[in-house]
Structure formats: C-alpha cells, structure tokens
Amino acid sequence: MNYLAHAYLAESSDEFLIGSFIGDFVKGSVGEHFSTEIANGIRFHRQVDTYADNHKLTRASRSLFSRQRRRFAGIILDVCYDHFLSNHWSSYADAELSGFIERTYALLNQHRSILPLKLQTALPRMFKQNWLACYRTLDGVDITLNRIAKRITRENCLNGSIGEVKDNYRRLEDNFLAFFPDLLNFAQPFTEFRSKRQ
C-alpha cells in the first residue's frame, strides 16, 4: 500500500494517521521516539503491508508483470493501489478526495517537527507536486514511478513500467476491487478499537 491508502485506512485519529503515513520512513523498533498513538499507527502500517503483500490477489497482480520487473512489482502495485483507490474513492469514503488530501497535508505540516528527517525534507516537494492527488491519472502514476526509480540507489527497471501497467490495467483494477474489501475487513478491528478508546 502507498501513502494515500495508508492515510485512508488510519483516519480514526490524527496521530494514528500520522503514524500510518510515516511507516515506511521508520525502520526497526518504534521505541519511545513517538507518542503511543503515532507508534500504534506505525505498527498498523506494518501489519497492513504484511497482509497486503501476502494476499492471494496481490500475488496474482505481481505475477502479471514481466520477469524483468517482477522484483519491483510490489512498488509498482503500491502506486497502482493508490491510483485505483483515487478513482473509486466515492465507493469507500464520504468525504471528497481533495478535502481528505488537504487535511492530510495539513496534519503532516502540523507535525513536521516530529517527522523522520527524510520525510521532513520531502514535504515541500510532496506539497508542491501534490503527490497524493497525482496518483489519480495514469500520467501521474508514470511520473511517480519514474520519480521513485531515481530515488532508488541500486539499478532498477521502474522507469517506463507504466507500459506494463497499461497492458494489464483491467486485471490489476479487478484484482484491486476484489482485494480492497478484504483489506478493509482486516483493518476494521484496529480502527474500531481505537474509536472506542476516544
């Protein structure tokens, strides 16, 4: 799952959302670096990733990509998941997507001082390039994948992978639409427990 999906799944509180959003930027033990709510959000992020990575439909989607790109298929799928979530947003959320994105950016900016340094550095680009909104179009997916390719230090074949996304678009979308309700069911106990504590 990528940024938008992680934020959406963890919307039950501001700090829980922040923790889920920054999960990829925090390695190893969460320790005492964050509040309890943010730490719980980070752990939730990791559990969501594990569930998604091992789901049969995610495995089926990864297998659609060529052997050349199979190693990076998980990254491609993460971005595709946000693309499909964006395009089917009204099926899962009452709030407008643009409003949700603006609120998420505002929360990140509000908590900027406690965010991992790498994310703090990336925030101006994220806001200016509107990362969470650009997933909605295939051009935006292409730009995002090429941007990630440049950030990866080791040799990779993400650049230009949009061609394979387009070739397999309908099957990828069908797999997502079948997978996402399972993910929501998986996530529900975590968010329900949180809501009862508030």
Question: 151: part of which helix (H) or strand (E)?
Answer: helix 138-151
Query: Which domain, by its residues, includes 163?
Result: 3-197
Neighbours of 98 (CB within 10 A): 12
pLDDT of residue 153: 66
pLDDT of residue 31: 66
Rg over alpha carbons for the chain, rounded to the nearest Å, is 16
pLDDT in tens, the chain (198 residues): 789 999 999 977 899 999 999 988 888 777 677 888 899 999 999 999 999 999 999 999 999 999 888 888 999 999 999 999 999 999 999 889 999 999 999 999 999 998 989 999 999 999 999 999 998 999 999 999 888 877 776 676 777 889 999 999 999 999 999 999 999 999 988 766 444 333
**How far is the C-alpha of 37 from the C-alpha of 146, rounded, in Å?**
33
pLDDT of residue 172: 97
Sign of CA dihedral 69, 123, 140, 143: negative
pLDDT of residue 1: 74
Report the number of distinct structural domains present in the chain: 1
**How far is the C-alpha of 77 from the C-alpha of 74, rounded, in Å?**
5
Look at residues 117, 103, 139 and name the one whose alpha carbon lies nearest to residue 13. 103
10 Å CB burial of residue 108 (0-12, 13-18, 19+) is buried
Token pair of 157, please? 């074949």
Token pair of 95, please? 């709030």
Q: Is 53 left (phi over 0), alpha (psi -120 to 50) or beta?
A: alpha
pLDDT of residue 195: 41
